[in-house]
Amino acid sequence: MKVKLAEALLRRKELQEKVDRLRPLNNKDLYETRSGRTKVTDSLDDVIVQVSKVSFQQFTHTYDWHAKQLRLVDAAIQQANWTAELEFESPDVMGDYVDPYVKDEG
């Protein structure tokens, strides 16, 4: 599939944002704590249960998929970066600034 470089740059940004949002999640974000008061024994009457919001496998699959797509898009962009040539009307665009008020003695 061929896409414009601008589209690939936008896709890379979208994927990077998704990966950045998924990366900091940890186990406590994947579970919710629910508590209920239940008489289990004379000394224990409070039971805390962790309920899965999403399976760890589902989370890692989502993260891995987005990270892989990001790597593929980034690799294509980098390849274009190394092979594309740009043409400028003015040769000064790529030159260093020369202060017109300082005389070059060299």
* Domain extent listing, the chain: 5-83
Looking at residue 14, its pLDDT comes to 95
pLDDT at 50: 64
Q: Which residues contact 74 (CB under 8 A, 6 or more apart)?
A: 12
∠ CA 37-43-46, nearest 5°, is 20
Q: Give residue 31's pLDDT band: very low, low, confident or very high (50, 70, 90).
A: low
Euclidean distance between CA atoms 2 and 33, whole angstroms: 47
**Does pLDDT of 15 surpass 90?**
yes
